[in-house]
Copies of this chain bind each other. A is one copy, B any other.
């Protein structure tokens, strides 16, 4: 990040007509934009939402309340404009790209085999990386994939340890029996792939999913292309968690847009040192929470760019 750009924002903020620090996280957001766009007067002309979609072999273990065909049906719903993210992206003034990843070929059931071999994992990472063009000012990352809170919980447990139950929630709404099947599947996956768990990227391949790998790739591309990132919910956070484990500042260009109602998310954000902007009890995915935070970023930037200073406005200081 560009320390000088961030410092320039902080200096300007202290001259604007408000008590110092009184815009709270909006001031932090303005500095964050500057740091990662590497520019003291950042912009938000091009905001893009990416929704990566994938299917999951582990659904064979009965871990989701909805059937797997809903993934492709929801991708069609995104195309025809009927999903929540279509409305939220429009309100946010953001373009929406939906990128399905080989939906006809689910990943391997990780209780039996790796979800992806190295080639499949890298192909998905590349798909995410290549999707992010260098002309964007901010990206929102999200996903759709029936069953994907199970790989997200498995990755979280593999990277951060602790009782599997603390990472495992009800996803789209499984009952108690379904929740027990999720926990059992994750425990089986952790056991089967135990020798891979020391390497965060190997965890993402063995226990993850294509849409999660693509989110990881997009987050890497954003770092290389000076684009700040808004992360969506539990699955998205788990998707990028390997980057946080690989390097202490691996996710510094990302903000957690919200904390979802899915059981493990708050704990995961704490483990990643990513305090969320919003806490609205949402648990939809699709980048819906990330998209809601775009307006906060726009508001932060608009205050930074267009407020008058004490001197300009003739307002007395302390």
Contacts and interface: CB of A to CB of B under 8 A. Distances in A.
Interface stretch (A50-58, A110-118, A291-299): A291-299
A100 to B, nearest CB: 15
A315 B74 contact: yes
A279 B302 CA distance: 19
A313 B77 contact: yes
Contact of A295 (B22, B281, B295): B295
Given A17-B82, A17-B83, A302-B88, A282 B316 contact: no
Contact of A82 (B69, B312, B317): B312
B24 A281 contact: yes
B302 A65 contact: no
A21 B262 CA distance: 12
B315 A87 contact: no
A103 to B, nearest CB: 14
Interface stretch (A192-200, A264-272, A303-311): A303-311
8 contacts: A17-B82, A24-B280, A67-B316, A70-B316, A76-B313, A82-B313, A91-B302, A292-B296
